[in-house]
C-alpha cells in the first residue's frame, strides 16, 4: 500500500495531529507565548533525537534511499542551529529536561531501530508529513508566530517529504501500526505544550 493511503485510512487521528488546537491558536494568535516556548524547547530536543534516529537508519538504508536520508540529516543539523538562534533570541534554556511526551517519542524512535527498514521509513515519512501538514494548517500564522509557520511550510520541506514518500513506497512501506504510533506521538507532543491549560478547559479535547 502506498504510504499516502494511510492518511485516508485513518482520517480522525490524522486530523487530530494536523488540525490540533495548538495550531489553530498559532494561526489566530491566541496561543500564549509561554506555551509556544515550552513547545519550542521540547521540539529542539526532539530534533536532536530525530537526528540520531535518522543517522542510524541511514546506516542500514537501501542504496536508493540514501540520498534523501543524507540530505535530511544535513537539514536537521541546520535546523538545530536555527533552534539555538531562536532560543537565544527568546531567552530560552535548551537544556531544560525532556517532558514526558518528548521522552516517550524518543523511546518510540529507539524502538524503531529494531524495526525493519520499510517500517522505519514509513515512520520517518509520517513524522515529517504530519509536521508539514500541521504547520500548513497554521498558515499564514499570527504575526507573533509567522516566522515559524513560514519556516516549516517552505517548498523545500514539502519536496523533502515527497522524497521520503518515494523512498518508503519503493521498499513497500505503508504499515498501519507504525503510522498510528507516530501520529499518536505527534498529538501527544502538541498536547504537551497545552498541558497547563494554556487555551482554557476543553481546548485539547476539541481537536
Ligand atoms: C514533534 C515533531 N515532529 C516532527 C518534526 C519534524 N522534524 C519536529 N520537528 N517535531
pLDDT per residue as tens digits for the range 104-161:
999 999 999 999 999 999 999 999 999 999 999 999 999 999 999 999 999 999 999 9
> From the CB of 127, is ligand 1 less than 6 Å away?
yes
Q: Complex ipTM, two decimals?
A: 0.96
Instruction: Report the nearest atom of ligand 1 relative to the CA of 189.
Output: 1
Instruction: Look at the chain and report how many structural domains it folds into.
Output: 1
Among 40, 74, 131, name the best residue to mutate to test ligand 1's pocket (greatest count of ligand atoms within 8 A of Cβ).
131
**1 CA from centroid of ligand 1 (Å):** 24
**For residue 155, is it within any domain?**
yes
> From the CB of 131, is ligand 1 less than 6 Å away?
yes
**For residue 187, is it within any domain?**
yes
* Cβ-proximal residues to 113 (8 Å cutoff; 6+ apart), any chain: 53, 56, 120
Query: How far is residue 194's CA from residue 47's CA, in Å, rounded to a whole number?
Result: 20
**For residue 201, is it within any domain?**
no
Q: What is the CATH number of the domain that holds 150?
A: 1.20.910.10
Does residue 150 have a known ligand-binding role?
no
**For residue 202, is it within any domain?**
no
Its sign, for the CA torsion 50, 125, 127, 78, is positive
How is 135-157 classified by DSSP, letter by letter?
HHHTTT--GGGHHHHHHTT-HHH
List the domain range (segments joined by +) for residue 132: 5-193
Q: Per-residue pLDDT tens for 161-196?
A: 999 999 999 999 889 999 999 999 999 999 999 885
- E strands, the chain, are none
Amino acid at each position: 500500500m502506498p504510504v499516502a493511503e494511510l492518511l485516508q485510512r485513518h482520517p480522525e487521528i490524522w486530523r487530530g495531529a494536523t488540525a490540533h488546537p495548538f495550531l489553530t491558536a498559532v494561526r489566530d494568535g491566541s496561543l500564549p507565548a509561554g506555551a509556544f516556548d515550552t513547545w519550542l524547547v521540547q521540539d529542539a530536543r526532539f530534533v536532536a533525537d530525530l537526528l540520531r534516529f535518522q543517522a542510524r537508519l541511514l546506516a542500514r538504508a537501501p542504496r536508493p534511499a540514501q540520498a534523501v536520508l543524507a540530505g535530511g540529516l544535513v537539514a536537521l543539523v541546520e535546523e538545530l542551529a536555527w533552534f539555538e538562534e531562536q532560543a537565544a533570541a527568546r531567552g530560552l534554556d535548551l537544556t531544560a529536561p525532556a517532558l514526558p511526551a518528548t521522552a516517550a517519542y524518543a523511546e518510540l524512535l529507539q524502538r524503531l531501530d529494531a524495526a525493519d527498514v520499510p517500517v522505519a521509513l514509513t515512520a520517518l515519512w509520517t513524522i515529517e508529513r504530519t509536521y508539514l501538514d500541521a504547520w500548513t494548517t497554521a498558515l499564514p500564522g499570527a504575526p507573533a508566530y509567522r516566522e515559524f509557520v513560514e519556516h516549516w511550510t517552505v517548498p523545500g520541506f514539502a519536496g523533502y517529504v515527497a522524497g521520503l514518500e518515494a523512498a518508503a513506497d519503493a521498499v513497500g512501506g505503508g504499515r498501519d501500526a507504525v503510522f498510528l504510533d507516530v501520529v499518536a506521538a505527534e498529538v501527544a507532543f502538541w498536547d504537551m505544550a497545552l498541558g497547563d491549560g494554556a487555551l482554557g478547559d476543553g481546548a485539547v479535547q476539541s481537536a
